[in-house]
Amino acid sequence: MPTILSIKNLNKSYKGGFEALKDVSLDIEEGEIIALLGPNGAGKTTLISTICGITMPTSGTVTVAGHDIVTSFRAARSMIGLVPQEIALEPFEKVQNVVRFSRGLFGKPRMDDIVEDVLKRLSLWDKRDAQVRELSGGMKRRVLIAKALAHEPRVLFLDEPTAGVDVELRRDMWEIVEQLRVDGVTTVLTTHYIEEAEAIADRVGVINNGEILLVEDKDKLMARMGQKQLDVQLSAPVDEIPEALSGYDLTIGDKGRTLIYSYDTKSDRTGITRLLKDVADAGLKLRDVVTRQSSLEDIFVSLVSPKGEEKQ
Amino acid sequence: MNRTAIAAIYRNEMARFFRTLAQSFISPVLSASLYFVVFGAAIGSRIDEVEGVSYGAFIVPGLIMLTVMTQAISNASFGIYFPKFIGTFNELLSAPLNFLEIVIGYAGAAATKSMFIGIIILITSFFFVDLQIAHPLAMIAFLILTCISFALFGFIIGIWAGNFEQLQLIPLLVITPLVFLGGSFYSISMLPPVWQTISMFNPVVYLISGFRWAFFGVADVPIGLSLLAIGGFTALCLLVVGFIFKTGWRIRQ
């Protein structure tokens, strides 16, 4: 897939010397969904704001489909849709009017059928004549997405789209993003929710202290960095790890009914076969064996923790 | 030039004007009518003529100017401050339009609104006083220039303001006194000599005087000076807008 968004050595410093972005470089392919993970103040929103023109870069370049965001800002921005983190909408205006306004603002001629299509896709058509202030928080978030899509952008930025929304709406949002992928829209989302990145992203970028720590295919990342756990569930509980199994990295769980074995999926030999044989030889009766993959959250925590950064 | 975007901003602002018709339209007309009743009928009945014009008619240009200036400022300042306050300003910054286009959209709508109100007050005045306009084209030109320049000024205030208090500060503490002391309801020649001299430092005197000349052919100051004053004020506002455009002052970090 061709690159639609290219960020090269992007820096952003504020008055007083605070460096919000430090030499950020990132290429995003057309049609992909990339999730930027990072703790509060990591630089996620600054990165998005700089690309979208809300703040000016201190140095570095960003191009959208080859158009520089500073020198060809009209062409670049017309391809971008932004769903901001905060709900910012004109409260007394009708839903369809705020969406229509956004389309006009991006220089697109009035086309009511496109606005209608966007509103229908976001289940807002029935609310088209309602004033924004009459809507629930979830509906307002949908209006923000509708506004961002009204001018048919090729790249959509979702800044913490599901912050503070209920589980049902979050899943609805994920479906909307998936549908956008089908339509060929490239999506860049920032999130606190690892679960969100795990559920919908193709690639994951981790950002902390204004630096991109890594960007990798989500599945590869989990496979590369993921630790797996083997839970050996016993028929009868044990008080301590038998002497014969002392050579393994085992812990006891579930009040002695489970032996937990951590192993690295990357290594050629996981030691599982030998462990199970030794468990049997030690006279322990197996009830069940369960494996668990460590989540993206574990990987994220390991990356942004000081120890993890050292490892990088 | 992103004309579609300018039109979108303009339409959006005008829609707000018509949505809040009572606040936007009835309120200034009611105020103007009250001025006619109090100054024109009650006080005016005890004043024969000013500069050869009946007092009721004499106050019409000043009253229109007073309303147009305050309305242009309040509409333009609120128009651009409101998106800043509710957070939709970022959408303007992320859209493919430059600051000049934002100014044309917002200040243009504010100027239109204030001109609309000015014309309505002019029409209202015909119900209260016998009025004839000596130089109609000059009157329209003065009205348009005043609406545009004060809308630009209001826009600058809206960009500068960090809260609602600041938004009201300059209109209340600077503009209202200048307009009231600028000869809206009297001729500068009616003042004692020392106050006449002080009044010459009030830029609004020149605007009201020029506008009154367009109505009655009489003025406190030469018409050329009035034109210079309104032209200079417009140029000054454009310079400040240009500075904001170039530096991103108070709009883009």
Q: Measured between alpha carbons, how far is A38 from A43 in angstroms, rounded to an integer?
A: 8
Residue A53 burial class via C-beta count within 10 angstroms: exposed 0-12, middle 13-18, buried 19 and up: buried
Q: What is the pTM of this model?
A: 0.82
Report which residue type is found at B154: G
pLDDT in tens, A25-37: 999 999 999 999 8
Q: Do the chains contact at A56 and B248, CB–CB below 8 Å?
A: yes
Q: Do the chains contact at B97 and A91, CB–CB below 8 Å?
A: no
Instruction: Check: CB of residue A275 under 8 Å from CB of residue A176.
Output: no
Q: Measured between alpha carbons, how far is B159 from B169 in angstroms, rounded to an integer?
A: 13
pLDDT (mean) for B227-233: 89
Report which residue type is found at B54: S
Report which residue type is found at B192: P
The continuous run of DSSP H or E covering A76 comes out as helix A73-78
Q: Do the chains contact at A54 and B7, CB–CB below 8 Å?
A: no
The B-side interface with A (CB below 8 A) comprises 2, 4-5, 7-9, 11-12, 15-16, 19, 82-83, 86-88, 90-97, 248, 252-253
Instruction: Give the DSSP letter of residue A228.
Output: E
Q: Given A14, A53, A104, which is nearest B93 (Cβ)?
A: A53
Q: Given B4, B19, B95, which is nearest A77 (Cβ)?
A: B95
Per-residue pLDDT band for A163 (boundaries 50, 70, 90) equals confident
Half-sphere exposure of A87 (CA within 13 A, CB side): 16
Q: Measured between alpha carbons, how far is A310 from B224 in angstroms, rounded to an integer?
A: 74
The answer, yes or no, to whether residue A303 has pLDDT greater than 90, is no
The answer, yes or no, to whether residue B151 has pLDDT greater than 90, is yes
Q: What is the ipTM of this complex?
A: 0.85
Report which residue type is found at A231: D
Q: Measured between alpha carbons, how far is B248 from A79 in angstroms, rounded to an integer?
A: 23
Q: Do the chains contact at B96 and A73, CB–CB below 8 Å?
A: yes
**Strand runs labelled E in chain A:** 3-13, 19-29, 33-37, 59-64, 67-68, 80-83, 155-159, 186-191, 203-208, 211-217, 227-234, 250-253, 258-264, 286-293
pLDDT in tens, B9-60: 999 999 888 887 777 778 878 888 888 888 777 777 777 777 778 888 888 9
Enumerate the β-bridge partners of residue A286: A234
Size of interface A-B (CB pairs under 8 A): 79
Q: Measured between alpha carbons, how far is A15 from A17 in angstroms, rounded to an integer?
A: 5
Instruction: Check: CB of residue A53 under 8 Å from CB of residue A69.
Output: yes
Q: Given A56, A77, A82, which is nearest B252 (Cβ)?
A: A56
Contact residues, chain A, for B11 at CB < 8 Å: 104
Does residue A53 belong to the interface with chain B, where contact is any CB pair within 8 Å?
A: yes
- Residue B157, phi then psi, degrees to nearest 5: -60, -45
The answer, yes or no, to whether residue A50 has pLDDT greater than 90, is yes
Q: Do the chains contact at A105 and B5, CB–CB below 8 Å?
A: yes
Q: Do the chains contact at A105 and B253, CB–CB below 8 Å?
A: no
Residues 6+ apart with CB under 8 A from A67: A75, A76, A79
Q: Measured between alpha carbons, how far is B3 from A38 in angstroms, rounded to an integer?
A: 39
Does residue A92 belong to the interface with chain B, where contact is any CB pair within 8 Å?
A: yes
Contact residues, chain B, for A82 at CB < 8 Å: 90-91, 94
Per-residue pLDDT band for B132 (boundaries 50, 70, 90) equals confident
The answer, yes or no, to whether residue A308 has pLDDT greater than 60, is no
Does residue A131 belong to the interface with chain B, where contact is any CB pair within 8 Å?
A: no
Q: Measured between alpha carbons, how far is B215 from B228 in angstroms, rounded to an integer?
A: 19
Mutate to test the interface with A, among B17, B24, B85, B91 (most CBs of A within 10 A): B91
- Give the model's pLDDT for residue B29: 81
Per-residue pLDDT band for A306 (boundaries 50, 70, 90) equals low
3-state class of A17 per DSSP? Answer: coil
pLDDT (mean) for B68-92: 91
- Residue A214, phi then psi, degrees to nearest 5: -165, 155
Q: Do the chains contact at B96 and A97, CB–CB below 8 Å?
A: no
- Give the model's pLDDT for residue B251: 77
Q: Measured between alpha carbons, how far is B115 from B117 in angstroms, rounded to an integer?
A: 5
Q: Do the chains contact at A74 and B2, CB–CB below 8 Å?
A: yes
Contact residues, chain B, for A92 at CB < 8 Å: 16, 19
Mean pLDDT of chain B: 88
In order of A13, A112, A139, A280, the CA distances from B11 in angstroms are 37, 16, 25, 79
Q: Do the chains contact at A74 and B9, CB–CB below 8 Å?
A: no
Does residue A84 belong to the interface with chain B, where contact is any CB pair within 8 Å?
A: yes
Residues 6+ apart with CB under 8 A from B16: A92, B79
- Give the model's pLDDT for residue A311: 43
Angle formed at CA B30 by CA B182 and CA B205, multiple of 5 degrees: 10
Question: Token pair 């049997």 is at which residue?
Answer: A280
Considering chain B, what percentage of its residues have pLDDT values greater than 70? 100
Give the residue on A whose Cα is nearest the Cα of B97: A74
Q: Given A49, A88, A106, which is nearest B96 (Cβ)?
A: A106
Contact residues, chain A, for B252 at CB < 8 Å: 53-56
Q: Measured between alpha carbons, how far is A125 from A118 in angstroms, rounded to an integer?
A: 9
Shortest Cα distance from B175 to chain A (angstroms)? 29
Q: Do the chains contact at A107 and B252, CB–CB below 8 Å?
A: no
Shortest Cα distance from B12 to chain A (angstroms)? 7
Q: Do the chains contact at A56 and B253, CB–CB below 8 Å?
A: yes
Does residue A219 belong to the interface with chain B, where contact is any CB pair within 8 Å?
A: no
Per-residue pLDDT band for A310 (boundaries 50, 70, 90) equals very low
The answer, yes or no, to whether residue A225 has pLDDT greater than 80, is no
Mean pLDDT of chain A: 87
Q: Do the chains contact at B97 and A102, CB–CB below 8 Å?
A: no
Shortest Cα distance from B235 to chain A (angstroms)? 28
Contact residues, chain B, for A56 at CB < 8 Å: 248, 252-253
Instruction: Check: CB of residue B187 under 8 Å from CB of residue B181.
Output: no
Q: Do the chains contact at A107 and B97, CB–CB below 8 Å?
A: yes
The answer, yes or no, to whether residue A312 has pLDDT greater than 50, is no
Shortest Cα distance from B252 to chain A (angstroms)? 6
- Give the model's pLDDT for residue A60: 95
The answer, yes or no, to whether residue A295 has pLDDT greater than 70, is no
Q: Do the chains contact at B2 and A107, CB–CB below 8 Å?
A: yes
Q: Which residues of A89-124 are buried (b: 16+ CB within 10 A; e: fewer)?
A: bbeebbbbbbbbbbbbbbbbeeeeebbeebbebbeb
Give the residue on A whose Cα is nearest the Cα of B250: A55
Instruction: Check: CB of residue A64 under 8 Å from CB of residue A5.
Output: yes
Does residue A182 belong to the interface with chain B, where contact is any CB pair within 8 Å?
A: no
Question: Token pair 């600054």 is at which residue?
Answer: A46
Neighbours of B71 (CB within 10 A): 26
Tokens at residue B203, please?
Answer: 């830029």
